[in-house]
Amino acid sequence: MEKTFEIKDLLNILRKNKILITSIPFVCLLIGFIYTYFIASPIYESKTDLLVNTTPTANTAEPVSPLEIDASLKLIETYQYILKSQRMADLVIKDLDGLLTEDEFLDNVKAESNGNSQIISIIVENKNPDDAALIANKTAVIFQSEIKKLMKIENVNILTIATPYSSTSKPILLFNLLLSFAAGLILATIFVLIKELKNKKFESKKGITDLLGIPYLGEIPAIIPQGPTNKYLDERYNKLVAHTEPHSSSSEAYRSVRANLDILRQSKQPVTILVTSTSAGDGKSLTCGNLAVTLAKDNKKVVFVDSDMRKPNGHSLFNLHNRCGLTNYLTGFSSSDEIIQSTAIPKLSFISAGPISPNPHELIISKKMDLLIDRLKQKFDVILFDSSPLLVSDSILLSGKMDGCIYVLNARKTNRDDANEKIELLKRSSNELIGAILNEKKTHKSNPHYYYGGYMG
């Protein structure tokens, strides 16, 4: 199923990464400030102005006609070219005894004129304000002299003499700061979008419903026991927060999942549910255990069946033995009553996996498994099968015998492509894919029951 992308998705991505989006531009702003004040060399600017006319000599008293002014305007472009010519560069460099190079002259000496004005401004940029003024004045004098030689006319007059300026023309602080901030904002946005495109994890309800096309049952934060724990009990038992911390926010998350599951049980008939995940460590066993406790506290007779016959761990959740369990019954060594154990939670029973079997496939598809399911339906309202992850085919075989299947996704590690592949297998094999639970969902640190880290699943 393809994932759709909308404008609101982009806004959600930016909102989710708002710290990154704001911090990177301000870091770039700081870098721009440091560069401008402490790294970049200050550049000083000096300017001298020249007046161009058609006066034959400097001493003539005849008035200047409009035709002469028009002729002068046409000379401006020619004079600007002469000012930037190789000839002028060589003469100025020679006169200044190598104060600047040819490239520096061509790059840092400008000749500018505004529209119909007869004024040519010689603008010089240099790291030294005195040198900038000296180069500008020398260029103006040499240019005036060269025009007399080249054009055989004295029509260039120096209007203003260049003087050193104490203030710099470059770098411009405000411009650099705005440029740095804008660059940082663009970089941050690009980085966040690339990071999101490469992110193959599930982080929200929308990602699950859009990509996998299955109902969303709820999200569970990673669990860290908050109160004093019993050191003599298994670590997993201390994380059955639905029992040990019934008023916690984590327990409330499981109650929310239970409420969604109640929709399936509108007929009030016994229901068998398989709980599985993509791989080991996704937290399916702990999720299944807490869900079983929550259902039992809702006055339902529940049995937790550890059907992972390859790597069982359900017995550690309830701190019970694994000597006699599912494999004992399926191989004919125990009865169904003998493998059912009571737990510390009222109305909640437990069936361990029993000794590890070399041939779990044959046991799952056996008639004894069908018979056990029928007998459990006669005794319990809800039968939860904690199955092996979908790395092996056990869950696929068992799902066809269930009323429904719950798929546990781990927000920190489940890959979208892997999950989509496994979901397609479950859709083809199970009677009903009830929905998905997002485990270890990141939540706000201020909530003592929500934690960013992981736990054994």
- CATH number of domain containing 121: 3.30.70.1130
Are 35 and 65 members of one domain?
no
Residues 191 and 208 reside in one and the same domain: no
**Measured in whole angstroms, how far is the alpha carbon of residue 274 from the centre of its chain?**
34
Closest by alpha carbon to 390, among 423, 428, 439, 432? 423
pTM above 0.85, yes or no: no
Comparing C-alpha atoms, which of 455, 6, 407, 341 is closest to residue 202? 407
Please say if the pLDDT value at position 386 is more than 90. Answer: yes
Q: What is the rounded distance in angstroms from the CA atom of residue 238 to the CA atom of residue 456?
A: 12
Is 31 a domain residue?
A: yes
Same domain, 110 and 129: yes
Position of tokens 């790291």?
127
Are 223 and 183 within one domain?
no
Does the pLDDT at position 259 exceed 90? Answer: no
pLDDT of residue 15: 79
Q: What tokens appear for 295 in the block?
A: 């259902």
| Burial group, residue 157, by CB count within 10 angstroms (0-12, 13-18, 19+) | middle
- Name which of 323, 326, 333 is nearest 360 in CA terms: 326
Average pLDDT along the chain: 83
Q: What's the domain range around 20? A: 7-40+171-197
- In this predicted structure, the answer to whether residue 167 has a pLDDT above a threshold of 80 is no
Residue 226 confidence (pLDDT): 59
295 in Cβ contact with 280 (< 8 Å): no
- Looking at the fold, whether 31 and 60 belong to one and the same domain comes out as no
Residue 166 lies in a domain: no
Question: Which amino acid is it at 150?
Answer: L
As given in the structure block, the two tokens for residue 363 are 């046991």
Distance CA 75, CA 366 (A): 104
Residue 450: is its pLDDT beyond 50? no
Whether residue 416 sits in one domain with residue 353: yes
Top pLDDT among 69 and 270 is at: 270
Q: What is the pLDDT of residues 217-227, one digit of tens each?
A: 888 887 665 55
193/88 same-domain check = no
Query: Does residue 267 lie within any of the structural domains?
Result: yes
Q: Which residues contact 395 (CB under 8 A, 6 or more apart)?
A: 274, 276, 387, 388, 389, 426
Which of 226-230, 413-417, 440-444 is predicted most confidently? 413-417
Write the CA distances from 235 to 227, 230, 315, 322, 412, integer angstroms: 13, 9, 12, 17, 21
pLDDT, mean of residues 93-122: 87
Taking the chain, what is the end-to-end CA distance rounded to the nearest angstrom?
28
Say yes or no: 214 and 326 in one domain: yes
Q: Strand pairing of 109-112 and 119-126? A: antiparallel
Query: CB of 351 within 8 A of CB of 317?
Result: no
Residue 79 has pLDDT above 60, yes or no: yes
Chain segment 129-152, per-residue pLDDT in tens: 999 999 999 999 999 998 888 888
Does residue 347 share a domain with residue 313? yes
Supply 108's token pair. 């840092």
Domain assignment present for residue 452? The answer is no
Q: Is the pLDDT of residue 238 over 80?
A: no
404 in a structural domain:
yes
Q: Does 164 sit behind a cis peptide bond, omega within 30 degrees of 0 on the bond before it?
A: no
- What phi, psi does 310 have (nearest 5°)? -105, -45
What confidence score (pLDDT) does residue 230 get?
Answer: 58
* 372 and 235 both lie in a single domain: yes
Q: d(Cα 307, Cα 359) in Å, to the nearest integer?
A: 13
Residues 339 and 211 in one domain: yes
Give 289-323 pLDDT, tens digit per residue: 999 999 999 999 999 999 999 889 899 889 899 99
Residue 432: the pLDDT is 83
Verify that 105 and 210 share a domain, yes or no: no
In a domain, 284, yes or no: yes
Number of domains in the chain: 3
| Alpha carbons 420 and 1: distance in angstroms, whole number | 8
In a domain, 142, yes or no: yes
Give a yes or no: residue 163 inside a domain: no
Residue 38 CA, chain-centre distance (Å), reads 33
Instruction: Residue 398: give its domain's CATH number.
Output: 3.40.50.300
Is the pLDDT at 2 greater than 50? The verdict is no
